[in-house]
Each structure stands twice: as C-alpha cells, then as structure tokens.
Chain A
Amino acid sequence: MSSVLEVRDLSVSFRTEDGSLSAVDRVSLEVGASEVLAIVGESGCGKSVTAMSLAGLLPRSARVDGSVRLDGVELIGADKRTLRSIRGREIAYIFQEPMTSLNPVFTVGSQIGEVLRTHLGASRQAARARSIELLKLVGIPSAERRVDDYPHQLSGGMRQRVMIAMAVACDPKVLIADEPTTALDVTIQAGILDVLRGLRERLGTSIVLITHDLGVVADLADRVAVMYAGRVVETAEVHELFAHPQHPYTTGLLGASPAAGRHADTHRLDEIPGLVPTLSVQPDACTFADRCGQAVDTCTTSQPQLTRSDHGLACWNPVGVS
C-alpha cells in the first residue's frame, strides 16, 4: 500500500532555560490511504508534539529534524507559502477542546465558510451552501438553521462536530485528530467516533488519531503506534497489537485498564511502577528499563531500535518470546 503520509526519523526538541529537552526521538510512521493510525500513550509521551510537528504547528523554540512527506512533498523545512497551501487543505487538525478552537463572535457558518473562501476561493453563496452540506455530513440535525448559530448556542458534542466540518471542508488527504473525544461524555463520544468512521468510509480520509484511551483505539484504529518517552516502542495492526502485545509497556497499559466483568475481589489491575522520565538527551539504554518487570542487562546499556516489520518492536526482551 502506498503511503499518503510518511514520517521518517522525526525528532523534536525544545530549548528551555534548563537546556534542551527531547520530546520526540526518531519517530517513523506511515499512514496509507483511508487508513486510521492511532498514536497511543500517556501524558508526556510525545504523541501531541508528534501530531503538531506534522504540519509545522510547533512554536519557534522547537527544533524539528527528520522528514515528513505528504504525497511525496516534504513538509519539514518547507517555506511558509507551501505550508499555508497545505495546512487546512491537504492536512487538517481537530483538537481536544472545541470551545477554545472556535471563534465566539462568528457564526459557525461564517467560520466554515472562511475556510472555503480562503482555500478554494468559493463565493459567499457557494460557501454557505457547502457549509450546510458539511454540517449535514457530520450529523448536525436541522443544518439549515444551525449554520447561523454561534458556538455558545451549541453543546460540546455539536461544537466538536462543527470543528470536524471545518477540518474536512477542503477534503483533506489527512485528518489529524488530537484527543478529539477526551473532553466529551461517552454517549457524545460514540457519536463523534461514528462521524470519523463515516469520513474515512465516504471521503477516504486518512486519519491520525492521537489518544490515551485504548477503548477508542479498539473502536476506530486500523494500526496502532504505542509511544513512550518520545519514541515509538511498538507498532502493529490493531487486532495483532491487542491479541499479541510484545512490548512490556504495551502489556502494562493493557493490564492496567479494568476489563469487563472484573471486580477487585478476584482481580488486581497491573500497575506500572515509577514515572515517565523527562529527557534532555536520549540515553544509551531503553528508557522504559527502570520501570520494566523483565529488563535484562542489555536494556541498561544499549537502546533498542524499532524493527521495520508489520509488527515493529523496540525491545531487547519482548513479552512471550524468551
């Protein structure tokens, strides 16, 4: 399968008062046409920084190395004009908090319309008609009326649907959804996940889904990349990953979530001891070694590299192999 988005050895570090801070270290990812890739991990693992670096949304204190190619066009180091023509048009974002991402003083119709006029040069009239179509696409009832609503008149779930409508207004090749349902209740979340599934099926949009929620991953993802301390430690097709996790961090995450029908009387959740490290430089060791139940000598003296295969793994002593 040819990739729409191809990330090679992406590294991001931030200049801080205390020196340089490594947030993302040599991450490589591929996203195929109409594929959903989930990047999963806990806070501080670098998943959001990875997502933002894909189209140059990071602040200037960030140093970004490596390569991000969208349909063969290199985005890292691209000039502003190139980026402007790609962002919002070929690659679009939705974020966790829909209220702060919408402008409170404009109607949702004018905000979606702005995207269409800026990128596609649509007329006011055409933009309005297309806005209504888009609102229907994301499942907003009575779209003809809602198009004139202001953000505060909409519920949280509706606002997130409007954000998705804006993001897909120009029919982007890649949609980056950064914790799109984290701020929402589960009954609302189910609807948003349904919209994302629909976009992939109807428009063929590729989706990079950033999440910490393994239930959301299980629901929507085709492939999964598990991140820890700035690196991808395991990547596989979704069924393969849940059925045969091999990295001790992945098995730890899966064992830490309560499963259906399990009560504390008879079961105990797996705990991962210790804390996620903050790194100035990536050490010559596995960054998970000091929290890992099955670390061996090699783990503290040499950094494992992610293998290039359908089930990629960065581990010296995988689960269920030794």
Chain B
Amino acid sequence: MNALEVEDLVMHFGPVRAVDGVTLRIREGAVVALVGESGSGKSTVGRCIVRLLEPTGGTVRLAGADITHLNRRQLREHRRDVSIVFQDPAGSLDPRLSVGDIVGEPLRLMRRKDIAGQVSESLRRVGLRPEVAQRAPHELSGGQRQRVSIARALISKPRLLVADEPTSALDVSVQAAVLNLLADLQRDLGFACLFITHDLSAVEYLADEVAVMYLGQLVEQGPRARIFGTPAHPYTQALLSAAPVPDPVAQRERKPVLLGDDLPSAIDPPDGCRFHTRCPVAVDRCRTIVPEARVIGSGGHQVACHLVADDGTGPDVRTAEGVAR
C-alpha cells in the first residue's frame, strides 16, 4: 500500500494558483524529496497533506483513507498517521509550554495513557536527555529545538512524516546532525517521508525519489539516481547546474545555466508549459500546449516536457548544443 496518494491536488488562495494539479505517491517507508524554489508551491502541498489547509480540488489519501475534506473531528483518527516538522523550530514550539508538554501533546490529544514514559523514549530517540522535558524551548539551541520538533512529530509513530525545510534555518554543522538523525530514525522506524527542501545536496543524501516543482506543478519525478544522473526536464537540469558544489576544482569547470531573474506570477501563470518564459530551448508548442506528465524509460521516471521523447532522449540545456541521452 502507499503511505500517501495525492491526486490532481489544487490549492488556490483567491487569485493565487499556488498548487495547480499535483499527482504524487509515496510508498510505505520511502523518502520522497519535493524540491523547488521559493513560490513553487512545495510547502503548500505539504500543508494540504497534513490538512492544515483544505485543498481547493483533487484528493489526498493517507494509507488509503481519503482525508481531503474531512472536518476537524473526523480528522482526529487520522492525525496519528501523519506529522509535520517545520523549518523554524523557534516559531513552531509554544514558548509557554515545557519541552515535555510539547512532545507529549499529540498523545494527549489522542487521550493516551503513560505519556511521560513515551515522552522520555521519544526524546532519547532524537538524542536528547529525558531531563530536557523540564526545560522551556528558549533554553535550547536551534539544533536542539529541531530535535524537539522531530520528537513531537514521531511520538505517535506516524506512517508519514512531512519535513518542511527542516534544516534550512540551521548552520552547516547542526544541519549535518539533523540530517543524520532523520536518516537514522527513518531507517529504524520505517516511516515514509515527504522531504520538502530547496537544498539539493540534502536531497541527494536523504531521498529515494525526487519530485521537482515549478510554479505550482510537478515538472519531473523519479528515482534519485535518475534525477541527479540524467535529469530530463530543462528546469531540473538548470536547477542542478546552478547549485554550487563545495569543491573549487569541480565547481570552476561547471557552467550554470542562467535562467533570468523573472519568475512569472502564480496569479497569471504562463500559457502552455509554465517554464517556457525562462526555458532556453522552448519552441512554439511550449507556449500554447500544456505538456502532460509522461513516463520515460523504466523506474517510474516521469517528465512533463514536449521536447523529451518517450525513450528519454531530449535536449540538455547544460551543454551548448543539447545532446541525446
């Protein structure tokens, strides 16, 4: 069974078409990274999945159960199946509560017993001493606070963890500890994970599969090795080429694809392929016809681009002439 099935998800805020038809599945125990730049709608997808938002259209199924339009009371029995960790641990932990109360809150809402014992266990699992339960969030460092968020998210043993930029507010050395922790916990507890991030190096480290979002839609998804090795969509290629690598020899041989600074508005997205205004290889039909997501090759690699053939060959914007894969 899939831990998560998102079908044609749409989320509009008034005129803003933040998410416009996203279809995504996560197998039990798999880590799927949802990558994209600011304004791509990736966080909105995450918020729809944990039902902090009620989608405008489409369906969200958790472990087979349709939760798209459930009300608060109906949602309660599904709450234990999914949790979320946010980017900013300082802003997402109630400053008036003790760490123990914060971590135990999900269980209290489910009216469970022996909460204290499970809080200690959950804190231990994220590498914090049980005594931390007595402390207030402001007494902790940023890295420790993010561990508290993770302990809270995992205490109900969810099938799915939505991690929304969990390391972006942290320094590199602290980031490493949190990424290691997430990898360990995922391996030991076996939950599925939607890892929302703009940090491509973290994606390569944690994800089994990668889904790339641009202006409210998925442009490409597939296994990690395929996306990083032979990305098919021009946007994915540009994104990978633009992220600098921490190696001066390798970095200076790379040539980033420069896309231009003007990201179109989600209020009035471009016709046809939404990427065509910045795409270096766009042709006429890209400006008028919306490309459908198609499976290319094997391994569930999907791409929404007119210029990629069914066998996966197509342009590579990272090379001057564009080569066949």
Contacts and interface: CB of A to CB of B under 8 A. Distances in A.
- 6 smallest CB-CB distances across A and B, nearest first, come from A215-B244, A157-B261, A264-B183, A214-B246, A256-B176, A190-B256
A96 to B, nearest CB: 14
B126 to A, nearest CB: 14
Contact of B261 (A158, A186, A260): A158
10 contacts: A186-B200, A186-B242, A215-B244, A258-B201, A258-B205, A259-B246, A261-B204, A261-B228, A263-B224, A267-B205
A271 B262 CA distance: 38
A33 interface: no
A218 interface: yes
Contacts of A157: 261
Nearest to B175: A256
Interface string A247-261: 000001111111111
Interface in A19-38: none
A216 B247 CA distance: 10
Contact of B202 (A141, A258, A260): A258
Nearest to A222: B248
Interface of B: 37-38, 141, 171-173, 175-177, 179-180, 183, 187, 198, 200-202, 204-206, 224, 228, 238-239, 241-252, 256-263
B121 to A, nearest CB: 22
Interface in A267-282: 267-272, 275
A263 B180 contact: no
A161 interface: yes
A91 to B, nearest CB: 26
B191 to A, nearest CB: 15
Interface-central residue, A155, A217, A269, by most chain B CB under 10 Å = A269
Given A187-B37, A187-B239, A258 B179 contact: yes
A156 B38 CA distance: 11
Contacts of A148: none
Nearest to A263: B205
Contacts of A267: 205
A219 interface: yes
Contact of B201 (A158, A259, A268, A270): A259
A317 to B, nearest CB: 19
A297 interface: no
B32 to A, nearest CB: 14
B110 to A, nearest CB: 31
A260 B204 contact: yes
A253 B173 contact: yes
A194 interface: yes
A221 B204 CA distance: 25
Interface in A125-159: 141, 155-158
Contact of B173 (A193, A217, A238, A256): A256
A204 interface: no
Nearest to B172: A256
Contacts of A185: 37-38, 198
Interface-central residue, B198, B244, B250, by most chain A CB under 10 Å = B244
Contacts of B261: 155-158, 161, 188, 191
A257 B262 contact: no
Given A190-B258, A271-B180, A260 B173 contact: no
A25 B37 CA distance: 38
B232 to A, nearest CB: 17
B205 A218 contact: no
Nearest to A249: B173
A42 interface: yes
Contacts of A269: 176-177, 179-180, 205
Contact of B243 (A186, A268, A275): A186
Given A155-B263, A219-B248, A269-B180, 20 more contacts: A42-B171, A156-B261, A158-B261, A185-B38, A186-B198, A186-B242, A186-B243, A187-B239, A187-B258, A188-B37, A190-B244, A194-B258, A214-B246, A218-B245, A258-B205, A259-B201, A261-B204, A262-B204, A263-B206, A272-B173
Contacts of B204: 258, 260-263
Interface string A219-247: 10100000000000000001100100000
Contacts of B37: 185-188
Contacts of B259: 187, 191
Contact of A218 (B224, B248, B257): B248
B246 A186 contact: no
Interface string A148-174: 000000011110010000000000000
Contacts of B252: 218-219
B27 to A, nearest CB: 16
A83 B89 CA distance: 41
B248 A271 contact: no
Nearest to A257: B246
A284 interface: no
A272 B178 CA distance: 11
A190 B248 contact: no
A189 interface: yes
Interface in A181-209: 185-191, 193-194
A275 B171 CA distance: 11
Contacts of A194: 256, 258
A9 interface: no
A240 to B, nearest CB: 10
A141 B277 CA distance: 14
B302 to A, nearest CB: 21
